Structure 1
């Protein structure tokens, strides 16, 4: 277990990024920026909607930091340890969102856990096929949503997930499905063949 923690660098990389994630979530919980949209002009968007990208990058780095020879012959359940790391990280993001929301933030803080689960699931799904390049998937999705996720009049499309209200059952279901599919992909295929 000690070699797994050291190989993944979770105690340094992921912990540092999570602390930054918490700090920014608390500082930016009410911050709304006017961001450009190709279909609807400049529209306000909560900046915390893009914070999960920070945790996705940290998780991707930790999951890609591996000792291939040791893991190939390991008797310990490395894939299950990686899955536990991902689940704990997403649960911690959910708790951070609840704290940010309870301190008087907008519903965007409450959505932080759902958005993190969705983007982490997306990253894990892409990672099972594209390997370490999957770290770009959450970033690309965030920009895709910001630029194309709103229609005329500012209506947020249902498929965006990130900008949908917390009470939206479609966004909640999409986040749950993406996260479950990502965890399944991590358990079945921990490393894409394109990396070897």
Structure 2
């Protein structure tokens, strides 16, 4: 267990990015920025919706920090430890969102956990095919949502997941399916395609 934590750098990388993630989510809460959109000009968007990118990059770095030879011969279920790491990170994001909600945030709340689950699942799916380059997938999704995610009247499209209302069942289902699919991809292919 100790070598896995050191190999994954879970004791340094995750806390190092989770603390800023939590602070930004709690400080920014419902702060909005006027961001450009190709379809509807400039529209306000909650900046806290982009904070899950910090956790996605931390998880990607942790999962890519591997000792392939030692892990192939390990008696402990290393891949299940990785799954637990992912779930603990998403749960931490959800709890941070609930804390922000208790402090008065309208947007952040459970939406922070939902968005984190979606982006982490997306990153894990792309990781099973593209390896360490998968860290760019959540960032690319964020840009697609920012520039193309709103219609002419400012309506947020259903496929974006980010910026959707908290009670949106489509966004919640998409986040659940993305995370479940990403975890299945991690179980099926724990290493990266570049490993030999």
Q: Place the TM-score, normalised by the shorter chain, in its bin.
A: over 0.9
In 1, the alpha carbon distance for the partners of 2:62 and 2:42 equals: 36
Correspondence 1:129-144 to 2 at 5 A: 129-144=129-144
Look up the match of 2:7.
7
Look up the match of 1:69.
69
Look up the match of 2:28.
28
Correspondence 1:139-154 to 2 at 5 A: 139-154=139-154
- Pick which of 100-109 and 124-133 moved more: 100-109
Q: Is the 8 A contact 1:7 1:66 kept in 2?
A: yes
In 2, the alpha carbon distance for the partners of 1:137 and 1:24 equals: 22
Correspondence 1:158-177 to 2 at 5 A: 158-177=158-177
Q: Is the 8 A contact 1:100 1:110 kept in 2?
A: no
Q: Deviation at 1:66? A: 0.8
Q: Structure 1, unaligned stretches of length 5 or more?
A: none
Q: Structure 2, unaligned stretches of length 5 or more?
A: none
- Structure with higher helix content: 1
Q: Is the 8 A contact 2:25 2:48 kept in 1?
A: yes
Q: Deviation at 1:75? A: 1.5
Q: Deviation at 1:107? A: 2.1
Look up the match of 1:126.
126
In 1, the alpha carbon distance for the partners of 2:117 and 2:131 equals: 19
Q: Is the 8 A contact 1:35 1:146 kept in 2?
A: yes
In 1, the alpha carbon distance for the partners of 2:16 and 2:37 equals: 32
In 2, the alpha carbon distance for the partners of 1:117 and 1:42 equals: 27
In 1, the alpha carbon distance for the partners of 2:66 and 2:74 equals: 12
Could you report, residue by residue, the CA deviation over 1:98-133 in whole angstroms, capped at 9, with x for unpaired residues? 001110112234300000000000000000111000
Could you report, residue by residue, the CA deviation over 1:18-57 in whole angstroms, capped at 9, with x for unpaired residues? 1111111011102100000000000000000101000000
Stretches of 4+ aligned residues off by more than 4 angstroms: none
Look up the match of 1:38.
38
Q: Deviation at 1:195? A: 3.9
